[in-house]
Amino acid sequence: MSWLMGLLAIPLTLFILFIVPIWLWMHYRNKQQDGGQLNQQDSQRLATLTDEAQRMKARIQSLEAILDEEHPNWRQG
């Protein structure tokens, strides 16, 4: 069993020392070249999420106003 661990340790070590840094370097170099801009689908998703967040904020404010009228001390408890 220990010879199997030794056999796996060598390729794993080489992978971590050489492949992972090159992989990360290439990944972030490509991200930097893209300028970090969103594509069309991501922009649409961001706009949708922004709209949903604004609607949720309005709902929360409405609910808080109702609770303030009906139970003035609800925030303390």
Rounded to an integer, the average pLDDT of 45-67 is: 96
Whether the Cβ atoms of residue 67 and residue 60 lie closer than 8 Å to each other: no
The structural domains of the chain, with segments of one domain joined by +, span 1-36, 38-77
Provide the pLDDT for residue 60: 96
Dist. CA 6–CA 27, nearest whole Å: 30
Reading the block at residue 1, the tokens are 């069993």
With bands split at pLDDT 50, 70 and 90, how would you rate the model's confidence at 38?
A: confident
pLDDT of residue 62: 97
Looking at residue 36, its pLDDT comes to 65
CB distance 53 to 60 below 8 Å: no
| List of residues 6+ apart from 46 with CB closer than 8 A | 38
Does pLDDT of 50 surpass 80? Answer: yes
pTM over 0.75: no
Helix, strand and coil in the chain, % to nearest 5? 85, 0, 15
